């Protein structure tokens, strides 16, 4: 009798252990990324596979949306209980996400090694009001890409150092009949246009906001837009730029139909891949040019970070995942499309091999990154600016007037 | 059975539908009205009562007026084109020709294509660098340089209308065709004996048969065109320079991108009011024309 | 039948040919893009037929490998099926009794017009409260929640179609059966519903197609593979961040297949539904 009871108890314990054993309990976290070229969907999936292999008790559901949907999806998912745990966010959103409590403050989770190892400039991507809301992940700015073969044919010795020079060189190429419209930009009515505009604003020494009020309607902000309009009207810019996103720019550049293009890091190695590109081996890259007397180079901070949502039920696993994704090992492994956030990576021959030109441009460009305005109302400001840019390009409105209207509609 | 009891029974049978309608339409609509008087955010703050502020701001702003005009043109032009091309196609399909039954069957294809797929397809066709439209026109020698169909305010809305029309005119055609087939042969024959010309035959003999079904299609299509969201969202997102931004896109932006649930709600109600006025006007028109004939 | 002159016959055939090209060209091009390699698609001048047929994208989108793009696409395909299926069934369940009641009881007819009038409401007028309510009951990003919301569109439409279907069934058949002592539920089950079966099928097809096509609510109320439908998945692909035009086209072909098949084979039912509903309102 006693024996049976004992056996029964033992059995029950074993059963209980089997049912409730933590080794079998799997935590599921949901992560939101964007569908883009770098890191590509395939890369993110591969990184995540490596993470789940190392952490078999955590599984990660991945979701990809285009950049245009990233903000709205993040915000809308706040309402659903089992929403995302980890979200990718653009450098322009921490202000809004912090104000509306979309993201968790992770300042305390950041270790000393992270603090000292990550490039100081990269931290601005995740900061608002002295607090940190995630880890920087994609460290990026727009570079000036050029087609070496076309420049050589045009007899141009060196890529432009100033924006005025860029126009002159483009004119030479156009006049020699090498290309009808040598420059490609991403000026679609989207954030992409604001990134190009911001690059120019930084070149002209302008500013977006002064004392909480819009300041882009005059000075550098206006000069930047005037440059875009002149370049468009002079026919040096591919007129289809006004409906291009970055991927369209890459297609055109890779097809040998642009001598110059402003684009993110990822284009360097993709355009140099002979499998998909007609200009492989002819791709040159330099920091975006400056303006005489005002700047030597220009750059926009186009970085993005990974953060934990405030609705996440598994913040610890989420942080583990973020730590893995942003680790130096992971980033070095995928450094061909997106450069690491870690200072020492830039002197690592394994990272720079085969892309020395890009690394050289990055060292200058990343140091010059200019921020888009930090405000909880960024979405409105950006929407208003996009309209101003497009109306000016299309000649519906003079740049001064368009920017003035944008300032009024910016919500600031 | 008393008629009273029959009516009660009818209400009882309608109960499931009414409950569902109140839950998913009635209550949300009432709540939208409530929200429209507040400055509520989408997530987080409940908002406080602000009276008619939201409405005043919207009606005085240039955004709303511009968007209303864009929506109006989109609706009028696309519906008009669909009606005209649809009726012409129906008249053609009512003629004798080889392969008629195959062509009639194929007419359903554009209509069955999901709206989002249709929009995606046309976006690819209009691509300024690699799109089929530029390539085809160029190879036929109709244009001498590639055009930016969705990038120019002048052509963007027209290009959207073409895409929308391509998907929807076959529906009008099929409805009109069914009505045409109901026209008794001897009537058309008799009118020909009377020496009626093609136009007057169409206007006085055939049109009365078409008017009813076409009117319904017209009302439905106009309402749908006024609410348009999908095709624009996928093809242009309202660009270039907001030249294709319609009311529904504006509401989305306000309520969901900017998270201003309050003013988004007022804007949505203004759109609702406009659609209602439109529908009532149509209804009056239908009644008038029904009375006349 | 009138006799046509030769010129008229030629003109009619030419016009028919033009109509055929207009209808078919975009659909055929969608298919051609899906089997063309990227170099073919970005060639200038454009290649209208690929040098080698490339079916790899169908493999990519239909693959079931864990955590792949294919898995995400297939998941959205199933979500679309689930949502459209559930919403259609639910819509018919609420529509059939009420449509019959309205058809046989003119005194409550006005309520049907009230229901149909909701068709005018733009989805944006309901979206914010629906979003908040779904969030509150935990049905955001959930196929059941989305199917429930789709009733806003499907229920009025199916009721309207079913009502005109019941109108065409003579009451006398029902009253004769009632006189013979049949209970109401027996009358409906044995006589009316079998007679209304074709209309029911039409209504179900329409409801399914409407739900399959829906985009706005799905865009707002779903966020990942657990509920995201095909239309949203395709819009995500087409958003300009994927430059493999062939892949976008392939997704379009796959999403269009079910409704195209329904459209081609059920054409008679669909058109009769439209016209009978249309004429009688």
The DSSP line for A91-137 is TTSHHHHHHTT-B---GGG--HHHHHHB-HHHHGGGEETTEE-SEEE
Taking 3-state DSSP, the helix, strand and coil percentages for chain B, each rounded to the nearest 5, stand at: 75, 0, 25
> Structurally, how many domains does chain A consist of?
2
Residues A272 and A159 in one domain: yes
B214-225 burial code (b ≥16 CB/10 A, e <16): bbbbbbbbbbbb
H helix or E strand, kind and range, residue C193 = helix C193-213
Q: Cβ distance C218 to C80 under 8 Å? A: no
CB contact under 8 A, A80 and C138: yes
Run of H or E including A146: strand A143-147
Mean pLDDT for A312-320 is 94
Q: Which two tokens stand for residue A410?
A: 């910016």
Q: Do residues A266 and A353 share a domain?
A: no
Among C19, C46, C156, select the one facing B132 at the smallest CB separation. Answer: C46
Identify the pLDDT of residue A21: 44
| CA neighbor of C275 nearest in space, from C226, C218, C202 | C202
User: Does position B77 have pLDDT exceeding 70, yes or no?
Assistant: yes
Q: What gap in Å lies between CA B99 and CA B105, rounded to an integer?
A: 10
| Rounded distance between C-alpha atoms, residue A131 and residue A103, angstroms | 11
Grade residue B203 by pLDDT with cuts at 50, 70 and 90: confident
**pLDDT surpassing 60 at residue C174:** yes
Counted across chains B and C, CB pairs separated by less than 8 A come out at: 282
CB contact under 8 A, A383 and B43: no
pLDDT score for A105? 95
Which of B96, B114, B247 comes nearest C259 by C-beta? B114
> What's the CA gap between A188 and B128, in Å, rounded?
12
Q: What's the pLDDT score for residue B190?
A: 75
Residues of A in contact with C69 (CB under 8 A): 41-42, 45
| Mean pLDDT value across chain B | 89
Q: Point out the least confidently predicted range of A7-11, A161-165, A233-237, A391-395.
A: A7-11
Tell me the mean pLDDT in the region A278-300. 95
Per-residue pLDDT reduced to its tens digit, A222-246: 999 999 999 999 999 999 999 999 9
A245 contacts C223? CB cut-off 8 A: no
Is the same domain home to A148 and A168?
yes
Q: State the best of C84, C122, C150 to mutate against chain B, taking most chain B CBs within 10 Å.
A: C122
Task: Check if the beta carbon of residue A148 is closer than 8 Å to that of residue A284.
Answer: yes
Tell me what pLDDT residue A22 has. Answer: 45
Residue C215 lies in a domain: yes
- The span from the CA of C217 to the CA of C44, in Å, is 39
**Residue B154 contacts by C-beta under 8 Å, 6 or more apart in sequence?**
none
A287 in the same domain as A191: yes
pLDDT given at position A183 = 97
**CB neighbours (10 Å) of residue B22?**
13
Count the domains in chain C. 1
Q: How far apart are CA C186 and CA C167, in angstroms?
A: 19
**pLDDT for res C63:** 85
Dihedral sign for Cα atoms in the order A219, A225, A229, A234: positive
pLDDT higher at A354 or B245: B245
Enclosing domain of residue A61: 28-140+302-367
Confidence (pLDDT) at A65: 85
- Whether the CB of A78 is below 8 Å from some CB of chain B: the reply is yes
pLDDT tens column, C3-54: 568 888 999 999 999 999 999 999 999 999 999 998 889 888 889 999 889 9
When CB atoms are compared, the residue of C128, C248, C279 closest to B255 is C128
Answer whether C129 sits within 8 Å of B31, measured CB to CB: yes
Rounded Cα–Cα distance for residues C232 and B233 (Å): 11
Label the pairing between strands A213-214 and A183-184: unpaired
**Euclidean distance between CA atoms B77 and B221, whole angstroms:** 11
CA distance to partner chain B, nearest, from residue C148 (Å):
8
Distance CA A326, CA A349 (A): 20
Does the pLDDT of residue A19 top 50, yes or no? Answer: no
Q: Which residue has the tokens 């002197």?
A: A347
Task: Say how far apart CA C95 and CA C90 lie, in whole Å.
Answer: 8
The structure tokens 């008009």 sit at B80
Token duo for residue B76: 């009028």
User: Domain of C83: which CATH number?
Assistant: 1.10.3720.10
Residue with tokens 């995942």: A321
pLDDT at A35 over 60: yes
What is the DSSP track for A22-54? Answer: TTT--EEEEEEEE-SBTTBHHHHHHHHHHHHHH
Chain A residues within an 8 Å CB radius of C37: none
* Cα(C80)–Cα(C276) distance, integer angstroms: 29
Nearest to A409 by CA among B252, B258, B35: B258
CATH code of the domain containing A41: 3.40.190.10
Same domain, A223 and A360: no
B152 contacts chain A (CB < 8 A): yes
B114 touches chain C (CB under 8 A): yes
| Distance separating alpha carbons of residues A15 and B205, to the nearest angstrom | 84
Q: Are residues A182 and A296 in the same domain?
A: yes
B54 and C182 Cβ atoms separated by less than 8 Å: no
Closest by CA to A158, choosing from A284, A296, A292, A271, is: A284
Q: For B93, phi and psi rounded to 5 degrees?
A: -70, -15
- Residue B283 CB partners (closer than 8 Å, separation 6+): B219
Please give the distance of CA C139 from its chain centroid, rounded to a whole number. 23
Q: Tell me whether residues B242 and A243 touch, CB distance under 8 A.
A: no
d(CA B36, CA B58): 11
Whether residue A119 sits in one domain with residue A226:
no
CB distance from B42 to chain C under 8 Å?
Answer: yes
Give the residue from C105, C154, C167, C188 showing the smallest Cα distance to B12. Answer: C105
On average, the pLDDT of chain A sits at 90
Q: Is B65 on the interface with A (CB under 8 A)?
A: no
Three-class SS of residue C240? Answer: coil
Note the pLDDT of residue B67.
95
Q: What's the mean pLDDT in A404-410?
A: 91
Subunits in contact with chain C (3 or more CB pairs closer than 8 Å): A, B
At residue C240, the pLDDT reads: 61
Give CA angle at A399 (A393, A404), nearest 5°: 130
Mean pLDDT of A392-405: 95
B178 inside 8 A of chain C by CB: yes
Alpha-carbon distance of C251 to C233, in angstroms, equals 9
**Tens of pLDDT along A161-186?**
999 999 999 999 999 999 999 999 99
User: What pLDDT is attached to residue B204?
Assistant: 81
Return the residue of A nearest to B61 by Cα. Answer: A409
Separation in Å, CA A314 to CA A105, C90, C138, C266: 14, 36, 18, 49
Does the bond joining C45 to the residue before it have cis omega, within 30 degrees of 0? Answer: yes
Q: Where are the beta strands (DSSP E) in A233-315?
A: 260-263, 283-289, 297-298, 304-308
A23 domain-assigned: no
Residues with Cβ within 8 Å of residue B274, at least 6 apart in sequence: B68, B226, B247
Instruction: State whether residue B203 sits within 8 Å of chain C by CB.
Output: no
The CATH number, out of the four listed (1.10.287.130, 3.40.50.460, 1.10.3720.10, 1.20.140.10), of the domain defined by the range B55-292: 1.10.3720.10
Nearest CA in chain B to A379: B258
Residue A62: HSE in the Cβ half-sphere, 13 Å Cα cutoff: 25
**Distance (Å, whole) CA C62 – CA C81:** 15
Give the distance between the most distant pair of CA atoms in chain B: 78
Domain for residue A12, yes or no? no
Distance CA A118, CA A343 (A): 6
Taking contacts as CB-CB distances below 8 angstroms, the residues of chain B near A387 are: 241-242
Q: In this complex, is the C-beta atom of B148 within 8 Å of any C-beta atom belonging to chain A?
A: yes
Chain A residues within 8 A of C241 when measuring between CB atoms: 34-37, 66-68, 245-247
Task: For tokens 């920087």, name the residue.
Answer: A136
Peptide bond before B253: cis, by omega within 30 degrees of 0? no
* Calpha distance A67→A302 (Å, rounded): 12
Range of the domain at C196: 71-280
What is d(CA B56, CA B39) in angstroms, rounded to the nearest whole number? Answer: 13
Which of A51-55, C133-137, C193-197 tops mean pLDDT?
A51-55
* Residue A104 near residue A307, CB atoms below 8 Å: yes
Q: Provide the 3-class DSSP secondary structure of residue C184.
A: helix
Strand partners, A298: A288
**Does position A20 have pLDDT exceeding 60, yes or no?**
no
Residue-wise pLDDT for C205-251, tens only, equals 989 999 999 999 999 898 888 899 999 999 888 776 667 899 999 99
Distance CA A132, CA B208 (A): 71
Smallest CA-to-CA distance from A158 within A60, A271, A286 is with A286
**Helix, strand, coil: what percent of chain A each, to 5?**
50, 15, 35
């Amino acid at each position: 009798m006693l024996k049976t009871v004992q056996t029964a108890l033992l059995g029950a314990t074993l059963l209980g252990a089997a049912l409730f054993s933590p080794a079998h309990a799997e935590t599921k976290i949901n992560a939101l990324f964007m569908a883009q070229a770098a890191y590509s969907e395939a890369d993110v999936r591969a990184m995540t596979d490596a993470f789940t292999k190392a952490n078999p008790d955590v599984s990660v559901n991945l979701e990809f949306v285009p950049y245009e949907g990233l903000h709205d999806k993040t915000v809308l998912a706040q309402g659903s209980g089992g929403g995302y745990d980890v979200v990718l966010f653009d450098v322009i959103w921490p202000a809004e996400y912090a104000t509306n409590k979309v993201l968790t403050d992770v300042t305390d989770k950041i270790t000393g090694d992270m603090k000292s190892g990550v490039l100081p400039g990269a931290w601005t991507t995740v900061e608002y009001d002295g607090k940190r809301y995630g880890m920087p992940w994609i460290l990026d700015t727009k570079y000036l890409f050029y087609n070496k073969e076309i420049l050589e044919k045009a007899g141009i010795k060196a890529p432009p150092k100033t924006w005025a020079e860029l126009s002159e060189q483009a004119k030479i190429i156009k006049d020699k009949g090498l290309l009808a419209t040598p420059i490609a930009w991403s000026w679609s009515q989207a954030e992409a246009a604001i990134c190009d505009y911001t690059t120019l604003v930084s070149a002209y020494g302008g500013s977006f906001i002064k004392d909480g009020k819009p300041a882009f309607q005059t000075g550098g902000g206006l000069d930047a837009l005037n440059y875009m309009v002149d370049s468009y009207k002079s026919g040096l810019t591919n007129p289809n730029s006004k409906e291009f996103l970055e991927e369209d720019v890459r297609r055109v550049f890779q097809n040998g139909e642009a001598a110059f293009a402003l684009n993110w890091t990822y284009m360097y190695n993709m355009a140099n891949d002979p499998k998909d590109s007609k200009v492989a081996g002819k791709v040159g890259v330099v920091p975006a040019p400056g303006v005489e007397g005002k700047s030597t180079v220009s750059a926009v901070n186009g970085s993005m970070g990974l953060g934990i949502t405030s609705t996440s039920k598994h913040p610890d696993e989420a942080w583990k995942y973020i730590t893995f994704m942003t680790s130096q090992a992971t980033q070095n492994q995928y450094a061909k499309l997106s450069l690491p956030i870690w200072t020492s990576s830039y002197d690592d021959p394994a990272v720079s091999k085969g892309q020395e030109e890009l690394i050289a441009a990055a060292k200058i460009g990343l140091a010059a990154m200019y921020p888009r305005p930090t405000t909880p109302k960024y979405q409105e400001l950006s929407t208003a600016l996009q309209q101003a840019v497009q109306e000016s390009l299309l000649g519906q409105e003079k740049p001064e007037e368009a920017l003035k209207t944008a300032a009024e509609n910016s919500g600031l | 059975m008393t008629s009273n009891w029959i009516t009660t029974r009818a209400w009882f049978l309608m109960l499931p539908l009414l409950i569902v309608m109140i839950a998913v339409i009635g209550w949300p609509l009432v709540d939208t009205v409530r929200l429209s008087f507040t400055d509520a955010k989408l997530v987080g703050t409940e908002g406080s009562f602000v009276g008619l502020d939201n409405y005043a701001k919207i009606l005085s702003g240039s955004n709303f007026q511009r968007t209303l005009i864009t929506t109006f043109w989109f609706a009028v032009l696309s519906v008009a084109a669909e009606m005209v091309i649809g009726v012409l196609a129906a008249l053609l399909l009512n003629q004798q020709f080889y392969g008629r039954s195959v062509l009639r069957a194929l007419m359903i294809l554009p209509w069955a294509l999901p709206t989002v797929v249709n929009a995606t397809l046309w976006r690819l066709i209009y691509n300024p660098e690699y799109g089929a439209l530029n390539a085809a026109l160029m190879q036929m020698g109709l244009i001498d340089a590639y055009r930016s169909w969705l990038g120019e305010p002048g052509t963007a809305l027209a290009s959207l209308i073409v895409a929308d029309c391509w998907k929807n005119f076959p529906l009008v055609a099929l409805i009109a065709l069914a009505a045409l087939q109901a026209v008794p042969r001897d009537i058309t024959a008799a009118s020909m004996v009377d020496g009626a010309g093609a136009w007057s035959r169409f206007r006085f003999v055939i049109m009365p048969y078409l008017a009813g079904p076409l009117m319904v299609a017209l009302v439905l299509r106009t309402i749908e065109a006024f609410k348009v969201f999908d095709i624009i969202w996928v093809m242009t997102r309202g660009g270039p320079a907001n030249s294709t931004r319609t009311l529904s896109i504006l509401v989305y932006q306000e309520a969901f991108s900017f998270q201003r649930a309050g003013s988004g709600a007022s804007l949505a109600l203004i759109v609702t009011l406009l659609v209602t006025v439109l529908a009532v006007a149509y209804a009056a028109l239908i009644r008038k024309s029904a009375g006349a004939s | 039948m009138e006799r046509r002159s030769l010129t008229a016959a030629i003109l009619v055939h030419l016009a028919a040919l033009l109509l055929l090209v207009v209808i078919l060209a975009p659909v055929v091009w969608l298919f051609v893009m899906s089997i063309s390699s990227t170099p073919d698609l970005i060639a200038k001048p454009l290649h209208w037929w690929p040098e080698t047929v490339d079916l790899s994208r169908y493999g990519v989108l239909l693959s079931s490998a864990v955590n792949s793009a294919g898995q995400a696409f297939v998941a959205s395909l199933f979500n679309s099926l689930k949502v459209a299926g559930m919403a259609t069934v639910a819509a018919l369940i609420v529509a059939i009794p009420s449509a019959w009641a309205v058809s046989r009881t003119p005194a409550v007819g006005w309520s049907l017009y009230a229901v149909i009038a909701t068709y005018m409401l733009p989805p944006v007028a309901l979206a914010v409260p629906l979003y908040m309510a779904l969030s509150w009951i935990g049905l955001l990003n959930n196929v059941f929640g989305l199917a429930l919301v789709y009733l806003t569109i499907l229920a009025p439409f199916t009721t309207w179609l079913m009502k005109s279907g019941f109108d065409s069934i003579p009451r006398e058949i029902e009253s004769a059966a009632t006189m013979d002592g049949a209970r109401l539920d027996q009358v409906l089950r044995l006589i009316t519903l079998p007679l209304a079966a074709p209309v029911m099928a039409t209504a179900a097809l329409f409801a399914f197609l409407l739900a399959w096509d829906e985009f706005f609510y799905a865009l707002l109320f779903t966020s990942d593979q657990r509920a995201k439908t095909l239309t949203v998945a395709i819009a995500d692909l087409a958003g300009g961040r994927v430059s493999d035009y062939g892949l976008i086209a392939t997704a379009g072909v796959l999403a269009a297949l079910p409704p195209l098949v329904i459209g081609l084979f059920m054409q008679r039912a669909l058109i009769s539904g439209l016209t009978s509903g249309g004429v009688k309102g």
